[in-house]
Amino acid sequence: MNAYRQWLVASVQVGGCSLSVATKPGVLAHGTTDVAAFMLAEAVARRGVAGAPCRSVHLHSGNGLVAAVAGQAGYAVQAYDRYLPNVEATRRTLEASGGAAPRVAHGVLATADMPSGGADLVTIRIPTDRLGVQMAIAEAYRCLAVGGVCLLAGGNDEGVKPAARWLERVFGGVRLDAQHSGHRLLSAVRRAGEPADPAALASPWMNPDHMRATSVSLGAGEFTQYSRPGVFSWEHLDEATAMLAETARIAPGESVLDLGAGGGALGVVAARATQTGRVLLLDADADAVRCAARTVIGAGVHHVEVRASDAGEAVGDARFDVVVTNPPFHVGKATDLAVPRAFIEDSHAHLVPGGRLYLVANRTLPYERWISDCFGTVRTVHDGRRFKVLGATR
């Protein structure tokens, strides 16, 4: 079995709860201890549930540890994560650990299926982007009933101190419950009446359909790329993607697979180059999938499909003439080179004989050996000051 897709299960004890936590490469904190998640889990275990059934919402659920503890404590669990590997890890962890039947969703916000005031507890394992933290706190306030509690944890190097200030701005009070190994656990209670600062909840990003529109001139013409906070390079077209778009050679009629499509710019360029060939865009990020779909529709290219996928998993048995990719190599703040290696292996698996891979990467990343292992040879298509485009033929 491909090592990237080999699931591992670890037995974990938290606050008297016995859990089986699922993980694999690409899942947050794989191979390490997520201190923030353990702090949240221990706090949830201490709270328990008394009396009537209670509902908990878990934002940025990661491997599902916190949600599983909540399930064992008696909460009806709803868990959300924007990254597909984390969603699958949460689902597996909850199934293995028992508790009330959970809902696990691939998304940033709970807006679609959690009514305002419907939750008694919300936990946030903070993301590393500022706007992502602010959205999560606003979503927690929206979800919580009066008297409900928000628990938030993260590292000092992940922005937990600014998160504390935003939590106070929204809830009107925040308590430091614990700190350990450069991490902090915070709590806040939703009180009756208006939020402490209503303007803090007025962000347009709380509307899932609100997207940033960026005019892009790339390849054969101009189009608009749509994006949201947390999507890779969401505020502008990144230099590496532009370089890949200018150097990849796609002939009319060729089929193209874009692994890690982001906001969809490369997919539009590929669709215009192939004219009639099938183009499939894949990304693990729920918001990236929605943004890429809007980008390709707005660009008027109609032979393009966008799917959520962990690496190339959603391709199925299909084969393509060309694969283009700018593979991610961060999971949270950590570097995880198992992810780009999986992209390279999946590229080889889904190319027709004679099919071509075009991959762009930071010049310092050691992808040549992995490409050579899969394809036999590797060539440098373009060598820039910061980025390189590597090519290979199956």
Beta carbons of 212 and 236 less than 8 angstroms apart = no
Given this model, what pLDDT does residue 195 score?
93
Among residues 370, 352, 353, which one has the least CA distance to residue 361?
Answer: 370
Given this model, what pLDDT does residue 333 score?
64
Secondary structure class of 186 (helix, strand, coil): strand
DSSP β-bridge partners for residue 103: 78
Q: Hey, what are 159's tokens?
A: 């922005």
- Report the run of H or E that residue 250 belongs to, with start and end: none
CA 336 to chain centre: 14
Report domain extents, the chain: 3-206, 212-393
Given this model, what pLDDT does residue 53 score?
74
Given this model, what pLDDT does residue 168 score?
97
Task: Give dist(CA 310, CA 260) in Å, integer.
Answer: 9
Given this model, what pLDDT does residue 280 score?
98
Given this model, what pLDDT does residue 1 score?
58
Given this model, what pLDDT does residue 113 score?
82
Task: Give dist(CA 159, CA 179) in Å, integer.
Answer: 14
Fold of 3-206: Rossmann fold (3.40.50)
Task: Give dist(CA 340, CA 344) in Å, integer.
Answer: 6
Given this model, what pLDDT does residue 52 score?
63
Q: Hey, what are 80's tokens?
A: 């959300």
| Rg, C-alpha atoms of the chain | 22
Dihedral of the alpha carbons of 17, 20, 24, 30, in degrees to the nearest 10: 20
Given this model, what pLDDT does residue 219 score?
76
Distances (CA, A) of 165 to 28, 85, 131, 201: 25, 30, 13, 14
Q: Hey, what are 169's tokens?
A: 């701005």
- Can you list the residues of the chain whose pLDDT is less than 50? none
Among residues 230, 235, 304, 316, which one has the least CA distance to residue 266?
Answer: 304
Query: One fold for both 3-206 and 212-393?
Result: yes
Q: Structurally, what CATH architecture does the domain formed by 212-393 represent? A: 3-Layer(aba) Sandwich (3.40)
Given this model, what pLDDT does residue 100 score?
56
Summarised one tens digit per residue, pLDDT across range 304-339 is 999 999 999 999 999 999 999 999 875 666 667 889
CB count in 10 Å sphere of residue 118? 16
Given this model, what pLDDT does residue 51 score?
58
Given this model, what pLDDT does residue 335 score?
66
% the chain with pLDDT above 90: 84
Task: Give dist(CA 394, CA 390) in Å, integer.
Answer: 14
Given this model, what pLDDT does residue 221 score?
86
Given this model, what pLDDT does residue 244 score?
96
Among residues 202, 228, 190, which one has the least CA distance to residue 57?
Answer: 190
